[in-house]
Amino acid sequence: MFGFRHQRMREERLEAGFLPEWRDLLTERFGFWSMLSDADRARLEVLALDIVADKHWEAAHGFELRDEIMVMIAAQAAMLILGLPDDSFRNVHTILVHPTTHVVTGPHSQVQGLVSDEPMPILGLADFNGPVLLTWDTVLDDARHPGTGHNVVFHEFAHKLDMLDGTADGTPPLADQAQFDHWVAVCTAAYDRVVAGNGGRSLREYGGVNPGEFFAVATESFFDDPAELLAEHPDLYGVLRDFYRQDPVLRVRAG
């Protein structure tokens, strides 16, 4: 029954298309929206509609899931794949939204092999089999304020791109061996700088936890504050530009 209902809702949503009020919402609340080209906006609408229609959406703690919430998350996730194949989030099944930051207590692990009992505030989470978990207040705040280098949707969905090849090792699927070799050389050098405390303003300390977090943090910076990343880590900016097939610094400079 559940599968049938989901299928019917999916078809209804796809048929209705990207609603004009969703466009108004993005104009008002998504800082990057006005910086996108017409072609990018059109593609983003197609990709975001697909995410809204196709994924299982759940709200936690009696929180009510509204179109607004799904659209804001889907639009930011879609930014990452404007230059990638349409089905790049095929490994995202469920998106779980909490109203606000919640604190995990008891034994838990955010980083593989590292279990902690310390209370840990969670802004977002992505793993292989569970849902992508996001907190609505952070999602909204990040969307409204581009240029900080922080964006929880970019971060968690970058993890899912990394996981497409079966491992969360900081290397998403790449075109060929040459691109892979260049990626590893550049990312290893930048990662070592972060671990040594020299990530600069664009690569925050958390990126030094492991290569998976490095890729997620670098992706946040690449899309959210590209000029800073380009200035501080031009080689890293270059490999991310080649992977994502986008040059976000042009967008920011034009905007």
User: Contact positions toward Zn ion, by CB under 5 A?
Assistant: 213, 216
Q: What is the C-alpha separation between 6 and 12, in angstroms, rounded?
A: 10
For residue 159, the minimal CB distance to Zn ion (Å) is: 6
Q: Which residue's CB is nearer to Zn ion, number 213 or number 225?
A: 213
For residue 6, the minimal CB distance to Zn ion (Å) is: 28
Q: Which residue's CB is nearer to Zn ion, number 161 or number 216?
A: 216
For residue 126, the minimal CB distance to Zn ion (Å) is: 7
Q: Which residue's CB is nearer to Zn ion, number 163 or number 216?
A: 216
Q: Which residue's CB is nearer to Zn ion, number 22 or number 223?
A: 223
Report the 10 Å Cβ neighbour count for 23. 15
Q: Which residue's CB is nearer to Zn ion, number 50 or number 156?
A: 156
For residue 124, the minimal CB distance to Zn ion (Å) is: 7
Q: What is the C-alpha separation between 77 and 50, in angstroms, rounded?
A: 11
CB-based closest residue to Zn ion: 216
Q: What is the C-alpha separation between 249 and 234, in angstroms, rounded?
A: 12
For residue 216, the minimal CB distance to Zn ion (Å) is: 4
